[in-house]
Amino acid sequence: MKKVYLDNASTTAIRPEVIREMTKVMADDYGNPSSTHSFGRNAKSILELSRKSIAKAINASAQEIIFTSCGTEANNWILRSAVSDLKVKRIITSKIEHHAVLFTIQALQKEFDIQVDYVNLKPNGEIDLTNLVELLSQEHKTLVSLMQVNNEIGTVLDLARVGQICQQYKALFHSDTVQSIGKTVLDLQVLAVDFLVSSAHKFHGPKGVGFAFVRKNSGLQPLFYGGEQEKGLRAGTEAVHQIAGMAKALELAYANLEIERKHISDLRSYLIERLEVEFPGFSINGNPDGFYNIVNVLLPFSAEKTAMILFHLDMKGIAVSRGSACQSGSIKPSHVLAEMLSVEDLKKPSLRISMSHYNSKEDVDLLIEALKSI
Ligand code: PLP
């Protein structure tokens, strides 16, 4: 049975070149980058070359890249320090952020008694920028936290526009770019963004490593204390092999961006065409012109089929999801879909299908055939 992986918003397959790079570093370059002997200096050099390469990919400066263990850690760090150290009194966010942002903000709200406002959504799941401007017109030290690409429905935020708005109202701007870095071009010399977050396993790199972009002189303080690694901002011996793998993965992602984006966009269109033919009553959750690798579909099946659909597809070797991976085992409806679907539609099966350059039309055909047999 051919296995079909269509859950690339949850995680991605590691590129072979990345595995080779990591294996080499694990075998040969095992020094501690903080050691002053040649083994340490060698590891330090890999670390700093990786930092430079990542910074170059998004046109930032190397000192603005801080390595973390994952996207969740970077989000927690930035949001917490913005409140506890930068004295942010108010956060504007949306109800469809990833839980790494939403739950962190809820915890900070309890702990620090900050004001939290949720910006309105348009019916297609996009952020209502007019409402954002209205909210920003109030006088408080504010941070805006809005993701660039939604991990469940693939709606896209205009980062440049929101950056300008935040600058105009003197608000800090944090964006969870976990789903977009490596899949779209970002130029930090142009974008008015203070903080970004990335995670290597979303762009064909290893799990358990990510980075934060932190604009120069931000004043951010560490989340935890220990060694002087990452200029004291993130204590703990750096995972050199993971970081080298992440840098390689990002380099390859941008080197192949145009060709892979075209391949995936064509597949997405093909999938939608096939769904239109085979399941005429289907609809797309979120903006049908959303990000090129994600499509979230509401299938015209009865609510009773909701619980068994993923199981049925899994039995046929097909991996898709109902929402984010962290929730897909849960029977609770997705908090993102809950913001945009009626109570009735929420009970029906919605599937998130997310593709990579490793997918083919045959994968889409196998998915369609499997759905037809339900
Ligand atoms: N933010 C978004 C938008 C995500 O999709 C994910 C991954 O599921 C995360 C944050 C968490 O990243 P990590 O798995 O590196 O902690």
The domain boundary residue, chosen from 200, 221, 255 = 255
Residues forming a β-bridge with 92: 117, 144
Q: Is 125 in a helix, a strand, or coil?
A: coil
- Residues making up the chain, counted from first to last: 374
Distance linking the first and last C-alpha atoms of the chain = 18
Q: Is 138 in a helix, a strand, or coil?
A: coil
Do 222 and 240 sit in the same domain of this protein? yes
The domain boundary residue, chosen from 255, 278, 305 = 255
Amino acid identity, residue 56?
K
> For the domain that residue 313 is a member of, what is the CATH number?
3.90.1150.10
Range of the domain at 127: 16-255
Do 165 and 64 sit in the same domain of this protein? yes
Ligand 1 close to Cβ of residue 98 (< 6 A): yes
Do 347 and 244 sit in the same domain of this protein? no
90-93 and 115-118 strand pairing: parallel
Ligand 1 close to Cβ of residue 159 (< 6 A): no
| pLDDT at position 153 | 97
| pLDDT at position 308 | 87
| pLDDT at position 327 | 52
Do 242 and 270 sit in the same domain of this protein? no
- Residue 174 DSSP code: E
- Which residue of 12, 151, 175, 178 sits with most ligand 1 atoms within 8 Å of its CB, as the best mutation to test the pocket? 178
Do 273 and 239 sit in the same domain of this protein? no
**Among 259, 303, 326, 374, the one annotated catalytic:** 326
- Which residue of 72, 174, 324 sits with most ligand 1 atoms within 8 Å of its CB, as the best mutation to test the pocket? 72
Contact 246, 206 (CB under 8 A): yes
Rounded Cα gap, residues 146 and 168, in angstroms: 17
Residue that has been written with the tokens 């590691």 in this structure: 14
Q: Compute the half-sphere exposure of residue 94: CA atoms within 13 Å on the CB side of its CA.
A: 29
Contact 322, 334 (CB under 8 A): yes
Query: Structure pTM?
Result: 0.96
> For the domain that residue 185 is a member of, what is the CATH number?
3.40.640.10
Q: What are the residue ranges in the chain where pLDDT is below 50?
A: none
Ligand 1 close to Cβ of residue 285 (< 6 A): no
Ligand 1 close to Cβ of residue 78 (< 6 A): no
| pLDDT at position 263 | 98
Q: Any catalytic annotation for residue 166?
A: no
| pLDDT at position 323 | 64
The domain boundary residue, chosen from 237, 255, 273 = 255
- Residue 371 DSSP code: H
